[in-house]
Amino acid sequence: MLELNEVFEILKSNETLDECVALENALGKITSQDIIAIKDLPCFDNSALDGFAIKFDQKENGYKLIDTVFAGETRKTQIKDNECIKIMTGAIFPEGADTILKIEDSIEKDGKIYPKNPEKLKKGDAHRFKGEEITTGNILIKKGTKLEPTHVMLLAAQGIYNVKVKPNPKIAIFSSGNELKEPWEFANETQIYNANALGISSLLQKNGFNSSYFGIIKDDLEQTINSLKNTSNFDVVICSGGASMGDADFMKMALDKLGYIQIFDKINLKPGAPTKAYKKDNQTVFILPGNPMAAYICNLVIVVPFLNNSKPEMIKCISGENIKFKKGRANVVLGNLQDGKFYSLNNNKYGSGMITPLTQSDFIYISNPSEEQIMQDQEIYIMKIS
């Protein structure tokens, strides 16, 4: 039985050929290599606002206006003692100047420009220096980064229009079990609507991954084998149900017959212990529990991080109460933040077959197996649930 942190180390994203995409199509993609800065930002000393370029230590004497420079002008300008140049935002900083006096903070008197409040002016105000944000040759974005809108903006500012990324994986989803009916079908009193497939696919979609649904696999070995064969051109297969040790759980048998290699058979997590993972060539198969809460949580804490090629993002907070749980395993605690403090939902009492607690919670805490409780006001790390 693996600990959750061991699962993160064992699971590695599929090694696939890189693809090159334009920035318009880069959002949500994962970089396949470090991206290096090719241009200093700013690429020249410039003004952060409209004002007058001056020498700070001459502010009491006033400045004679000798020129005006606009953004986009390539000519270089210079000031001498007691001179200033009117400058617009983004324009090249004049040689000899060290400070910008805002237009609205200036006053003209006797043909000279003075600061209205000299004591409020600080040396270096609004002087943007070449390379103060980024220097050529440094790492701009690290390999394995999921590109957000801010990254796209940064790349555009560098003139980097095409980037190498990992292709989005092709993902197939199944559910398993004779007792299941689809939400669009009629289910009698002894049948269960298939909630897992849509819950799993929706969580993937929210994290930027599209998937294809292949339906319900009945509890039959041959059907299970044939269903898995139909996904041979997919990178990742996710099936909920068939993960336990019941007589009708045929997933393990089918995968063994098809030549898949088991990555792990069980994880030390509640809920979600029966979760399994297999690999064949460049395809990874996840068998998640059939219980909805367990399926959703394992998709959240195992499958999504695998697809993102990174561990789950954790948020630091403090516990608002004492919370007890069973020592020796990682326990998932559903809860919410109130005034920066984490409180468990319903005193941490719910079953792995439930869905409602997931809708009533915004975060989860995952305990360390060595813990049997967390104390009020203890610093902890939690994870957003969706």
Q: What is the CATH number of the domain that holds 140?
A: 3.90.105.10
**Same domain, yes or no: 61 and 101:** yes
Which residues is 192 bridged to in the sheet? 180
Partners of residue 340 on adjacent β-strands: none
Residue 245 has what pLDDT? 57
Same domain, 161 and 176: no
The tens digit of pLDDT for each residue in 216-267 reads 999 889 999 999 999 999 999 999 987 665 555 688 889 999 999 999 999 9
Give the pLDDT of residue 386. Answer: 77
Are residues 266 and 180 located together in one domain of the fold?
yes
Residue 18 covered by a domain: no
Same domain, 303 and 357: no
Residues 265 and 188 in one domain: yes
The answer to whether residue 154 sits within a structural domain is yes
Q: How many residues does the chain have?
A: 386
| CATH assignment at residue 256 | 3.40.980.10
Q: 27 with 148: CB under 8 angstroms?
A: yes
Mean pLDDT, 10 residues at a time, the chain of 386 residues: 83 70 94 95 97 96 97 96 97 98 96 95 97 97 93 97 93 94 93 95 93 94 93 95 66 92 94 94 94 96 89 93 94 96 94 95 96 96 92
Q: How far apart are CA 93 and CA 21, in angstroms?
A: 36
Check residue 342 and give its pLDDT: 97
CA 216 to chain centre: 31
Same domain for 71 and 185, yes or no, is no
Asked if 67 and 165 count as a contact pair (C-beta separation under 8 A), the reply is: no
* 119 located within any domain: yes
The answer to whether 76 and 96 have CB atoms below 8 angstroms apart is no
322, 347: one domain: yes
Indicate whether 32 and 162 sit together in one domain: yes
The closest of 339, 340, 383 to 365, measured between CA atoms, is 383
Among 69, 78, 59, CA closest to 123: 59
Structural domain of 153: 26-40+133-166
Nearest in space to 366 (alpha carbons), one of 287, 277, 301: 301
User: What's the confidence (pLDDT) of residue 370?
Assistant: 94
